[in-house]
Amino acid sequence: MAENYDLTVIGGGPGGYVAAIRAAQLGLNVCLVEKEKLGGVCLNWGCIPTKALLESAHLLESIRKSETFGLKVEKVSPDFPNIIKRSRGVADTMSNGVEFLMKKNKISVKKGSAVFKDKNTIWLPDTSKEEIQSEYFIIATGARPKEFPGLPFDGDKVLSSKHAMIQDSPPKTLAIIGAGAIGIEFADFYSSMGTKVTIVEMQDKILPLEDPEISNLLNRSFIKREIQILTSVGVSEPKLESDGVSILLKGEGIAPEGERKKFDKVLVAIGVTPNTEDIHLEEIGVFLQKGFIKVDTKFRSKVPNIYAIGDCIGAPLLAHVASTEGVKAAEAISIQNKNPHGLVYEPLDYLKIPACTYCHPEVASVGLKEEEAKKSGIDVVVGKFPFRANGRAQALGEVEGMVKLVADRKTGEVLGAHLIGPNVTEILGEINLGMGSELTLKEIAGRIHAHPTLSESVMEAAGQALGEAINI
């Protein structure tokens, strides 16, 4: 006999488990189906373990610069297996935390892959074979790394992001195809481990979605670290060889016939493929576009009782976006289900989504880029403040980078922020909160910031836009 629930969430990643918790808070009887470990890619094979790897890399780089702080360290080298082991331990801790949250919120967790039988019924063919009936469903099945044509992932010479975080040892040479956040973070990590890294990007800059000034500053920083960067360059004719992988490079700065280069390993970081096949979605009327589920502003699919969130509905492919979408979807279902809590639904504002890349120096942004604001017809004013002029940055020995604010000249409202430098992924929260409250440059510049702090650079950038900067 099938079990019955008010809501069943398919997928236990940062979108799914958050949706399940919010729905339980709203009084719904909730089931969550997950085929692997709770926490999804983010907690187990993405955001969390990669940050643990990068912390090891950044600490290693700091120790290498110890003499600039008056410290003498005879010798330091990475213990690669234990760096990997630590990152896996951090991931396990976070996944176990999600298990606790499921129990705390009385959410029934089922192990397996869900397949729809009809719009109100799924079954788990690969595990218990049981059927689950539900009034509503939220699909949060996420996505997986996309393969490069002719380079299927093998975990040995051709790596996905998952493979890259569990290697036995760092390769001598590594090509990274794709210079988005994932490619950039692994370039940072493996370069610190002693690997000769080459980044290949088809577009004209690394971190293509970031402000050009920020991308250029990171490009300059990586070149100083002897990371080779090839932009406006494509990859073709890959060949697996006994001792590595060779690829043909064609594009800017390369002879017309191209240049074939060989690497020990290749990491492919060119995007994702949604996990929507084999669930029988189209059979029950859910509309897919290139594999991604099409939803409305309330995350409802073409089938009114079936919702979808996170990477399986498309960009922006960010864990915190999936979590927010999960909350929104759960609340939309509660509203649709007689709205016992008197909720008022507010659509998610995708123009104010923070994005962070945890390389060294860090990169963070939210809102409109300068050119985007100008193209929309806004009279723009820009304020910039370099970390080189910030006292805390000097004390830290981390002076690369800047804070850049983009604002409406007429109203002073901040429309976007673009940062590169020490701890900017933490500083961004202040700006995002201010943008959500429609704070102006004058209000930010006039707000006292503790001294010396890195966040003073936000105040100074606002002042610079007004012609009132003190320390530059």
List active site positions.
451
* Residue 271 counted as an annotated binding residue: yes
Of 270, 276, 255, the C-alpha closest to 160 is 270
- Specify whether the CB–CB gap between 177 and 266 falls below 8 A: yes
| Distance (Å, whole) CA 453 – CA 290 | 46
* Residue 184 counted as an annotated binding residue: yes
* Encoded amino acid at 71, one letter: L
* Residue 234 counted as an annotated binding residue: no
Q: What are phi and psi of 311, to 5 degrees?
A: -60, -25
Of 298, 297, 319, 300, the C-alpha closest to 310 is 319
* Residue 370 counted as an annotated binding residue: no
Q: What are phi and psi of 281, to 5 degrees?
A: -70, -50
Residue 203, C-beta contacts closer than 8 angstroms, at least 6 positions apart: 179, 231, 232
In degrees to the nearest 10, what's the CA dihedral of 127, 129, 135, 139? 30
* Residue 181 counted as an annotated binding residue: yes
| Distance (Å, whole) CA 456 – CA 449 | 6
The string over 10-29, giving b where at least 16 C-beta atoms fall within 10 Å of a residue's C-beta and e elsewhere, is bbbbbbbbbbbbbbbebebb
* Residue 251 counted as an annotated binding residue: no
- Specify whether the CB–CB gap between 91 and 43 falls below 8 A: yes
* Residue 51 counted as an annotated binding residue: yes
* Residue 179 counted as an annotated binding residue: yes
Binding-site residues for FAD, in ranges, read 51, 311
Binding-site members for NAD(+) are 178-185, 201, 271
Residue ranges of the binding site: 51, 178-185, 201, 271, 311
